[in-house]
Structure 1
Amino acid sequence: MTAKHRILEVGGERIHVVEQGSGPLVLLVHGFPESWYSWRRQLPVLATAGYRAVALDVRGYGRSSKPQDPAAYRMLDLISDNVSVVRAFGESSAVIIGHDWGATIAAQSALVEPEVFRAVGLLSVPYTPPGGPRPSEVFAGMGGGQEFYVSYFQRLGRAEAEIEPDVRGWLAGFYSALSADTMAAADAPDPHFVAPGGTLRERFPTGALPSWLTQDDLDFYAAEFERTGFTGALNRYRNMDRDWEDLATYAGSAIKQPSLFLGGTRDASTMWLSDAMDAYPRTLPNLTGSHLLDCGHWIQQERPDDVNRLLVEFLDSL
């Protein structure tokens, strides 16, 4: 079974997908700053297990459409893209699995379209129901004199000016900063924050690439972003307040479909949201498993064998 690349015309946009296998549809949604390629170690395993695994490029990434309007990257548009992909494959429902931003996209797709997404798997970022304080206000209050990276990403062109002159080098540093085997020492500056007048890159470790990332892997990721630029990817962060408004009617809502969570014990994204994991009996009442693996943020690339085993077990249980 070889992987097939397709461009789907959905809702006036193009969505690039990579498909492998046949059987029940499983949609794989990547995070920042990645692409369908982050699922390269899951596609063949899920296909062999009897599933039609489809990894997409989220709009703004890779070969998918890159609308100019920042508001075109709001969550409701991404949910619509996911529904349209399911329909384009001739299916009425699918399991959706996401990592990082993809986990949030997957969770909210399942929340808003429960008839389409019959189960959901979340990697690295726990489910937090919509609602609560306005996101921009929360992030502005973090850092104690430093700027949280989400706030740093808000202004159009600012982060792009840091990243795009050396995409490959920036990606190498970012991936390394959040990987368990290349993280800086515990007393090093936190790479999630920016000093006044500084950049994120100043906080990245230097040296060897993380063990999960080959030079060829890095070349692939770099080539994608050198072609597309980073604005589409960063626009996801620039819609968090819009999402908060759009999803207000879902404030506090649980996801009732079967669900799975996988996180890393050395991943800040998982640890910061430990309260969200504690709330799973209420917010994910049909959770089939919550597993913490010894790894950093790039869980399905750092620990592919364990992730694959847990995903197949989850899918087989449905």
Structure 2
Amino acid sequence: MSQHVTEITHRLIPSPGGRIHLAEQGAGPLVLLLHGFPESWYSWRHQLPVLAAAGYRAVAIDVRGYGRSSKPLATDAYRMLDLVEDNVAAVHALGEESAVVIGHDWGATIAATSALLRPDVFRAVGLLSVPYTPPGGPRPSDVFARLGGDEEFYVSYFQEPGRAEAEIEPDVRGWLAGFYAALSADTMPAPGAPDPHFVSSGGTLRDRFPLGRLPAWLDDSDLDVYAGEFERTGVTGALNRYRNMDRDWEDLAAFHGAPITQPSLFVGGSMDASTTWLADAIKAYPTTLPGLVSSHVVDGCGHWIQQERPAEISRLLTDWLAALPA
């Protein structure tokens, strides 16, 4: 690593929703990194120094409702339009006019929507694990309600305020360990086992989590970081993202079917349901992501892609960034 790369620095910057916490390393063109559920800026800990050493100003934020960022009380303060405004505010507060935005899980959808709505600010977009699907189609709550038959899809399970909180918050550390394990390639349930994305009648998500073993990418100290943040903040801010999907559908009606035309990247894991369930979305990229530079499915990888395969994902990101127009 370059001797000129400084240590990760942390600070708070103003945003429309209060304050955004960010972790920053390096100098050069700005790359904004957005995490998913249930994580924090820390999910980019492997990529920050690599991007900085490659000559980029790498900034990973705590998304609104997470970590050290503000947590508005109103559920509708977590709609997608607000999160896009946060990202624009972050770019401008950092003294920049434009940035490359890269997201994982929910962060991928937030990154995609940021690029869609503000192409003047976000000149390229990278998506990890969750493919781009243009706004539109049926109302999301109707789609999720039809999944699973007698079982309840996890997104529907998250909708009622307080319900998932009652499962998670009495034992945040144990719940997170099980959730991470359930979606990791080396610890996920075997094929044919009950799907951890669904809840049985009267049950909980945790009923289907693997027990007793952390995935290889997650050690006790890493788990301590994640658990410590959610034990301090609770999980309502994080869950409120799911509780705004119908509002997003309404807010983005003018963009139904719209492609993202900036240069783009997609990387998914071959064992990640987010990638396999949305295989048709990947096939549609010639229409929905006409600026796609490269697309990759990493063999034998689960959902936590930049943590399960840090060196490979860092290489794919730096190669893509180096190929972008200046």
Q: Given the two structures, how large is their TM-score scaled by the length of structure 2? A: 0.97
**Which shows bigger deviation, 220-229 or 2-11?**
2-11
1:316 aligns with 2:316: no
In the TM superposition, residue 208 of structure 1 has moved relative to its aligned partner by 1.4
Work out which of the residue numbers 238, 241, 245 in structure 1 matches 2:246. Answer: 241
Q: How far, CA to CA, are the matches of 2:172 and 2:45 in structure 1?
A: 21
Which of 302, 306, 314 is the aligned partner of 1:296?
302
Once residues 188 and 200 of structure 2 are traced to their aligned partners in structure 1, the CA distance between those partners, rounded to angstroms, is 19
Written as runs of structure 1 = structure 2, the 5 A alignment for 1:4-153 is 4-11=9-16, 13-153=18-158
Following the alignment from structure 2 to structure 1, what is the Cα–Cα distance between the partners of residues 146 and 98?
40
Give the drift of 1:12.
Answer: 5.0
> Could you tell me which residue of structure 2 aligns to residue 188 of structure 1?
193
Could you tell me how far 1:207 is from its partner in structure 2? 2.1
Counterparts of 1:284 and 1:306 in 2: how far apart (Å)?
23
What is the rounded CA distance, in whole Å, between the counterparts of 1:137 and 1:164 in structure 2? Answer: 28
Alpha-carbon deviation of 1:11? Answer: 2.3
Per-residue displacement from partner, 1:7-44 (whole Å, max 9, x unpaired)? 00122511000000000000000000000000000000
**Does structure 1 retain, via aligned residues, the 8 Å contact 2:46–2:310?**
yes
**Structure 1 counterpart SS, 2:31:** strand
After superposition, give the CA deviation of every residue in 1:106-127 in whole Å (9 maximum; x if it has no partner): 0000000001000000000000
Q: Give the counterpart letter for 1:70 in structure 2.
A: T
Matched residues, number = 318
Asked if 1 retains the 8 angstrom alpha-carbon contact of 2:17 and 2:77, the reply is no
CA RMSD after TM alignment? 0.5
Q: What is the DSSP-based 3-state SS (H/G/I as helix, E as strand, rest coil) of the residue aligned with 1:227?
A: helix
**Unmatched tracts of structure 2, length 5 or more:** 1-5
Residue 243 and residue 12 in structure 1: after superposition, are their counterparts in 2 closer, same or farther (change >3 A)?
A: closer
- 1:214 Cα shift? 0.6
Deviations 1:260-290 (A, max 9, x none): 0000000001110000000000000010111
Cα offset for 1:206?
Answer: 0.9
2:192 and 2:115 map into 1 onto residues whose CA distance is: 39
In structure 1, the partner of 2:162 is: 157
- How far apart, in 2, do the equivalents of 1:204 and 1:8 lie? 37
Per-residue deviation, 1:184? 1.3
Distance 2:305 2:18 in 1: 30
Q: Distance in 1 between matches of 2:256 and 2:167?
A: 35
Alignment match, 2:289: 284
SS in structure 1 opposite 2:169?
helix
Secondary structure of 1:169's counterpart equals helix
Deviation at 1:231, TM superposition (A): 0.1
Structure 1, unpaired ranges of 5+: none
- For residue 172 of structure 2, give the secondary structure of its aligned residue in structure 1: helix
Partners of 1:11 and 1:303 lie apart in 2 by: 34
CA distance in structure 2 between the aligned counterparts of 1:38 and 1:24, rounded to whole angstroms: 21
CA offsets, 1:206-258, max 9 Å, x none?
12100000100000000000000000000000000000000000000000000
- How many Å separate the matches in 2 of 1:130 and 1:81? 20
Corresponding position of 1:224:
229
**Counterpart of 2:260?**
255
CA contact (8 A) 2:17 2:82 kept: no
The answer on whether the counterparts of 2:131 and 2:282 sit within 8 Å (CA) in structure 1 is: yes
Task: Return the letter of the residue paired with 2:310.
Answer: P
The two structures have a TM-score, normalised by structure 1, of 0.99
Which runs of structure 1 show a deviation greater than 6 angstroms over 4 or more consecutive aligned residues? none
Aligned to 2:32, what secondary structure does the other structure show? strand
Question: Residue type of the partner of 2:97?
Answer: S
Contact 2:268-2:305 at 8 Å conserved across structures: yes
The question of whether the paired residues in 1 share the 8 Å contact of 2:158 and 2:239 is answered with: yes
Measure the CA separation in 2 of the matches of 1:297 and 1:173.
14
Which residue number in structure 2 is paired with residue 177 of structure 1? Answer: 182
Letter paired with 2:134: P
Is 1:206–2:211 an aligned residue pair? yes
CA contact (8 A) 2:184 2:303 kept: yes
Alpha carbons 2:101, 2:122 under 8 Å: kept: yes
